[in-house]
Amino acid sequence: MLIKLAILFSGNGSNLENILEKLHQKTIRGNTYEVVLCLCNKKNAFGIQRAKKYGLESVIVEHENFSSREEFDQVLVEKIQQSGADLTILAGFMRILSPVFTKNIKAINLHPSLLPLFKGAHAIEESFKSDMKVAGVSVHWVNEELDGGKIIAQKAFEKEEMNFDEFEEKIHNLEYEILPNSVVKIFEKQCN
């Protein structure tokens, strides 16, 4: 079965490139994955260059050009629906999405903490500074609540004696593992 993916990103695009490397035009357990849309809300994001390495032109939709979150989300919905994507992946897409998006698009998000703890944009720092002995990453379904959708997968590790750079690197390495695996598992379940 051919599975079409849309990836939304805002910045560096390391998780975008990870998905392209591990899933784009690859067949895994009978399903072939193709990224049909790379969409970014910042025209100078480095992720745009990463997508080009795979022959993909990113669609740029700058949120600043819209008077409301709903107007911006409506354009996102249209672009994703036009692409025919079966699943949308938020890979460092730094926008809170309105019901205009969440009620029309099947999407998952990667978050750098063990949800429901440390929601929002400062999760890595908050998790690092917390008294918790473990930290980790989560993949969850996107709904109206910020980082509040049903959890699909989580990976944890013991914090031990790490400095912040080591901690952040560990988080990113887990992200690179969990996100493509979560996509594969979602479609394995649907096909069985």
As annotated, the active-site residues are 111
SS (H, E, C) the chain: CEEEEEEEECCCCHHHHHHHHHCECEEECCEEEEEEEEEECCCCCCHHHHHHCCCCCCEECCHHHCCCHHHHHHHHHHHHHHHCCCEEEECCCCCCCCHHHHCCCCEEEEECCCCCCCCCCCHHHHHHHCCCCEEEEEEEECCCCCCCCCEEEEEEEECCCCCHHHHHHHHHHHHHHHHHHHHHHHHHHHHC
